[in-house]
Structure 1
Amino acid sequence: MQRERSFRRYDIYKFIGKWDESLVLGLISAEHLALNLLTPSTVLDARSEIKTGISVQLDWSLDNLGATISGRKNLEHSFIDYKALLNVYGHDDSVSFNTQCGSQWDGFGYYGDQATGLYYNGTKHENIIRTGNENLGIHNWCARGGIVGRGVLLDYVAYMEETGQELPNPCTRFGITVDVLDKIVAHQGIEWRDGDILFIRSGFVRWYNAAGPEEREKNISGPDAAFIGVKTNDASRDWLWNHHFSAVAGDTLAFEQYPILSNSVALHEYLLPRWGTPIGEMFDLETLSKQCAAHKRWSFFFTGAPLNIPGGIASPPNAIAIF
């Protein structure tokens, strides 16, 4: 059963990482708040989702997004030939990339509250680099065992097509409302559990896979770039809060509709600095969608192992769904 949370006293817990007063007593520590909903018992419950043994990788290929986003460095991959160097038959390879150039988890040092400059647990902006992001780095997620639990896909694309509705252009600032998300929940027969890992398929990756190079570059790197996502309003914020997700992810570039306007409710500013909820972006949910339809269920066992880089700001998800 969904437990409602009021936002009237929200400011009391603004930057101290607590769901409500009962958790102040130590039932969940302030560190990595939402991830702490993934308790051993939650993970054990999630294993019941494994019935067929079919697994699906949810990472886009790191070189897939050829267009440059916000000047970020794309993947550079080179080989080292040990036959030429040492007369030994063997190879190494070397990779260099911005951790936000493809499928990614946004960590807690990525985005702060824009009004105060504070990050999760009240961390100041200057302390991120000064401390090597020791307290908020993604290596802390690795130390707790990664992100493992029950994943749930809300397939917006399939729902719109199955109900005869026209899909919006994913390269526009279209906002998916919580009213529609609730209709998808009913359509798919989802029953929520605390600590579920939410995935939303909006259609961006499907568009990208079908688009040509010029269309991709124009829509992603152009000055008017805009993308579909969860609507940036109070209703979306409240809906995410009340469902107690341990992490959220989507197939679009920002999870929420982009660009984030000054008069809108920036979900990044709630999920990351206030609630300690990882945000996944540009996940490849196409094969997952097909498997969900084939299995006639939209929940699955999920495991994600971010890169164990001390102080990491973001990371490829290394994500797998298992049916």
Structure 2
Amino acid sequence: MTGNPGAAPTPPSPGAGNGPAVSRQEFDALFAAVRTWGRWTPADRGAWNRVTPDHVRRAAALARSGTVVPLARPWNTAAGPDNSKPALHYMSDLGDVEAPEPSTHKDFIAVDYHGKATSHLDALSHAAYRGQLYDGRTARECVDAGGARFGAVSALGPLVTRGVLLDLPAVLGCPWLEPGRAVHAGDIVSAERALGVTIGEGDAVLLRSGSVRRRREKGAWDPGTASAGFHVDAVPLLAERGIALLGGDGDSDVRPSPVEGVHSPVHALALAAMGVPLLDNLDLEALSAAGAEAGRYEFLLVVAPLNIPGGTGSPVNPVAVL
């Protein structure tokens, strides 16, 4: 996908139109309130420990029509305002060297995936707050040049659970949420009511802001400056519901951040406090259409990150089945 940087939105000031700004002291109190340290073994699977075989069986029963919807964006090798480190893809074998039949074709891929362009999963080692990873582990003791010794993506394994799509543009009757629009706890409750779903224990919650559609129609911009996403006041509700995974077509955080001195407060709360892995940069447009056609916004979700020992996350192509 390509875009026109001239289409970049004018970011609002923190808290403008989205509720009051949050002080660092208030944020620290919120962090302590939603923290689940010491709750699970193994600790570095965090909230994925909530998903039991019963959760998987109930989720599998949601695959009624057999409609399969992939949720990843295309591998993006083009630089742009939302892709400062483009992915690599080149051919390493064109089948033009003499060899026994059959000839082969091979390619190489690589990516610095933590950013705004690649669909990926954040493991618990990805974010620390005040020097601490989830479960109170000291980040400098757990992560070094060799990778993560706690909270690595390899500790998570695949996740199969019930997914819930919070399709805010569908609820509000608009094509997308403008960058900078915060989603509050009241928005979540209203969306549940309008879409006929209720977030429950062990669920994966996906927020559609419509950012992919906006990018296609208006061009790329820098989501690090302005993006629709959750306000921190939505997190206690998600914590109370006992979610296992949070994600969306952005990276879950509203920007500009409403919290002084914290660029990605939802990342800090989800990963470091709650042990909830994050799915970033999904394409939820097809899922929105499939949900509207089926008349339901719950589905079987399968997330299978790469098995990377020491990895802080993984590129991923989650799959929803309705």
* TM bucket normalised to smaller: 0.7 to 0.9
The aligned counterpart of 2:69 is 56
Q: Aligned pair in 2 of structure 1 residues 266, 8: CA closer, same or farther (>3 Å)?
A: closer
The aligned counterpart of 1:294 is 293
More deviation in 198-207 or 76-85?
76-85
Distance in 2 (alpha carbons) for counterparts of 1:43 and 1:225: 38
The aligned counterpart of 2:139 is 125
Distance in 1 (alpha carbons) for counterparts of 2:32 and 2:273: 10
More deviation in 99-108 or 287-296?
99-108
User: What is the Cα deviation at residue 300 of structure 1?
Assistant: 0.5
Distance in 2 (alpha carbons) for counterparts of 1:175 and 1:260: 9
Q: Are positions 1:16 and 2:62 aligned together?
A: no
Distance in 1 (alpha carbons) for counterparts of 2:283 and 2:89: 21
Distance in 2 (alpha carbons) for counterparts of 1:303 and 1:168: 26
Work out which of the residue numbers 103, 106, 117 in structure 2 matches 1:92: 106
Note if contact 2:207-2:247 (Cα within 8 Å) is conserved in structure 1.
Answer: yes
Q: Are positions 1:135 and 2:150 aligned together?
A: yes
Q: Aligned pair in 2 of structure 1 residues 14, 289: CA closer, same or farther (>3 Å)?
A: closer
Work out which of the residue numbers 121, 132, 147 in structure 2 matches 1:105: 121
User: What is the Cα deviation at residue 275 of structure 1?
Assistant: 1.3
Count of residue pairs the alignment pairs up: 288
Q: Letter of the aligned partner of 1:76 in structure 2?
A: L
The aligned counterpart of 1:198 is 205
Q: Are positions 1:246 and 2:244 aligned together?
A: yes
Q: Aligned pair in 2 of structure 1 residues 64, 239: CA closer, same or farther (>3 Å)?
A: farther
User: What is the Cα deviation at residue 135 of structure 1?
Assistant: 2.1
Q: Secondary structure at the match of 1:83?
A: coil
- Which blocks of at least 5 consecutive residues in structure 1 are unaligned? 1-6, 19-25
Note if contact 2:34-2:274 (Cα within 8 Å) is conserved in structure 1.
Answer: no
Q: Are positions 1:77 and 2:89 aligned together?
A: yes
Note if contact 2:31-2:273 (Cα within 8 Å) is conserved in structure 1.
Answer: no
Note if contact 2:163-2:205 (Cα within 8 Å) is conserved in structure 1.
Answer: yes
Q: Letter of the aligned partner of 1:227 in structure 2?
A: S
Q: Letter of the aligned partner of 2:108 in structure 1?
A: S
TM-score normalised by L of structure 1 = 0.81
The aligned counterpart of 1:307 is 306
Runs of 4+ with deviation above 6 angstroms: 7-10
Q: Percent identity?
A: 24
Q: Are positions 1:185 and 2:183 aligned together?
A: no
- Which blocks of at least 5 consecutive residues in structure 2 are unaligned? 1-27
Distance in 1 (alpha carbons) for counterparts of 2:295 and 2:96: 53
Q: Letter of the aligned partner of 1:271 in structure 2?
A: A
Question: C-alpha deviations, 1:177-217, integer Å up to 9, x for none?
Answer: 22122111001111333111101101111111223xxx41x
The aligned counterpart of 2:256 is 259
Work out which of the residue numbers 38, 43, 47 in structure 1 matches 2:56: 43
More deviation in 9-18 or 256-265?
9-18
More deviation in 187-196 or 34-43?
187-196
The aligned counterpart of 1:21 is none
Q: Are positions 1:148 and 2:160 aligned together?
A: yes
Note if contact 1:305-1:319 (Cα within 8 Å) is conserved in structure 2.
Answer: yes
User: What is the Cα deviation at residue 119 of structure 1?
Assistant: 0.7
Q: Secondary structure at the match of 2:169?
A: helix
Note if contact 2:31-2:269 (Cα within 8 Å) is conserved in structure 1.
Answer: no
